[in-house]
Amino acid sequence: MHDEPTPAWFKSSYTANHEVDCCVEVAVNQPSAVLIRDSKRPWGPRLAVSPSAFASLVDFARSSQS
């Protein structure tokens, strides 16, 4: 049985304003998935996506900023 590491959650650097509590947190230290959760509900559900799917999401978000 393989134990996965405890997720190391972090918020986006765009949420530097600590008064903002509406963002997502991401854990990228998992071997086969990137985990995503709501920062307001860290005990709630988590979304697990492949690293390539997460990279595509980030690329899309960056290209959509205008």
- How far is Cα 66 from Cα 58, in angstroms, rounded to an integer? 15
More confident residue, 57 or 5: 57
Q: Mind spelling out the 3-state secondary structure of 5-34?
A: CCCCEEECHHHCCCCCCCCEEEECCCCCCE
- 29-66 pLDDT per residue, tens: 888 899 999 888 989 999 999 999 999 998 998 888 76
pLDDT at 20: 60
More confident residue, 57 or 17: 57
pTM: 0.76
